[in-house]
Amino acid sequence: MIYLDNAATSWPKPDEVIRAMTDVLERAGGNPGRSGHRLSIAAARVIYEVREELAGFFGISDPLRVVFTGNATHALNLVIRGLLRPGDRVVVSSMEHNAVMRPLRHLERRGVRITVVPCYADGTLDLTGLEKALSEPARLVVLVHASNVTGTIMPLGEAARLAHGAGALLCVDAAQTAGALPISVAELGVDFLAFTGHKEMLGPPGIGGLVIADGVDVSACEPLIFGGTGSRSESEEQPEFLPDRFESGTPNLAGIAALGAGVRWIKEHGIAELRDHIMMVTHTLIEGLSVIPGVRVYGPPDAGSRVGIVSFTVEGRHVSEIGLRLDEEYGVLARVGLHCAPAAHRTIGSFPGGTVRLSPGVFTNAEEIRRALEAVERVVRG
C-alpha cells in the first residue's frame, strides 16, 4: 500500500503520538480543572504544557491564547460566526474550503456581505484584486494558507498588511500548513490562525485549535458553545477570559497530549528538513505526471510554491475511475472529487468533475513515488 492522502489526514502517525494517548489516560486520566485531586491536576498540567508548546510553535507569547477545538472547521466557525454581524463585510479568496464558505453562506442569508477575490488558474492569490476589494470597509479577511486542491501557498504577510491597512482582521485557515511550514503569527501579522492536529501536525483526529495573536481583542467575538469550564463555577455567565471563553465542556485530553507529541516530533526532526523532503517528492510527482500523455497537472509548477499536494486529471476519463483503479489494482491511495472545495475547483477549471489528488507525507519515500507514477501511467494507458 502506498498512502498518498496525507492532505486528508496524515498516516502513519509517529509511535510517540500513539504512546502519548495511552500514557496520558493511564497516568493523568482525570478531568482537568474540575477537581482538585492528583489525576485532575496531572491532566491540567499536560494541557497547559501543550498550550505552551503550541504558543512557541506558532510564535505567540501567551499560551492562554491557544484555544483547543475539535478541528480547524470548528476553529474557523468560532471566528466567522462569533465575530461577524448583519451588515458586516468579509473578504475571501476564490480558493477557500467549505469550512470557510459554508458558514459564510449561512451568514450571508442573515445580512453579512461577502466579497470573493478571484485567484489565478494555478490557485495564486491576486494581491491587486485583494487590495481593490479592501478599498471599502471590511470587518474580516479569511484566507486559506495553502489550498487543499492545488497546494498553492498564499502570501500571508502581504495579505495581512492589506487587511490591517483597511482596518480588517485576518483569519487564516492553516489546515494544510500547520506543521508543514514554519508559521509565526506575530511575524506574519495574522490575527487568528485555525489549525487541525490530524494532518501535517501528525496528531490524531478530533483535535485542533485557534491561535489568537497577542493584543487581539476578543471581547466582540461571541463563543460558539456556552457551558462548564471548571472556572467561575459560582456564575451562570460564560467567563470572559481566555481560553475559557471559548472552551466549554470537557477537553479532549488524549487528543491534546498526542498533538503535543506530534509537535515535539516535528521539532526534533526539524520542520525545515521535513519541508525539504516534501518538496523533493512533490517535485518528482509534478515532473513525472507532467510527461504522461493526457494528464493535466494543476497548481504552480514549482514545488517550492506549494505544500505536498498535486492534483491532476486525465483527458476523457472520470477521476473516480482513476482513483478506484489506483487503489484496487496498485494499492495507491488517493482522494478524488471536489475535496470539499468547489470554489477552488471552479477557479482552476476542474469543476464539476474534480481531480485526482496525490498528497505525500513525511514518511513517503522516493521509491513509493516512483511506483505511484508507474501506476498512474499504467492506468492512463490502459
The length of the chain, given as a count of residues = 382
CB-based contact 267:88 (threshold 8 Å): no
Helices 271-290 and 253-269 meet at what angle, rounded to 10?
A: 80
CB-based contact 183:157 (threshold 8 Å): no
Domain 2-11+271-381 has CATH 3.50.50.60: no
To which residue does cell 478541528 refer? Answer: 71
Residue 221 appears among annotated catalytic residues: no
The architecture that CATH gives domain 15-268 is: 3-Layer(aba) Sandwich (3.40)
Q: Which of 119, 171, 221, 340 is catalytic?
A: 340
Residue 11's CB: how many other CB atoms inside 10 A? 14
Overall pTM > 0.85 = yes
CATH 3.90.1150.10-classified regions of the chain: 2-11+271-381
What pLDDT, on the 0 to 100 scale, is given for residue 35?
86
Sheet strands side by side (includes 66-69): 66-69, 208-212, 192-196, 169-173, 140-144, 89-93, 113-117
φ/ψ of 310, rounded to 5, equals -135, 115
CATH 3.40.640.10-classified regions of the chain: 15-268
pLDDT tens by residue, the chain, 382 residues: 999 999 999 999 999 999 999 999 999 989 998 888 999 999 999 999 999 999 999 999 999 999 999 999 999 999 999 999 999 999 999 999 999 999 999 999 999 999 999 999 999 999 999 999 999 999 999 999 999 999 999 999 999 999 999 999 999 999 999 999 999 999 999 999 999 999 999 999 999 999 999 999 999 999 999 999 999 999 999 999 999 999 999 999 999 999 999 999 999 999 999 999 999 999 999 999 999 999 999 999 999 999 999 999 999 999 999 999 999 999 999 999 999 999 999 999 999 999 999 999 999 999 999 999 999 999 999 8
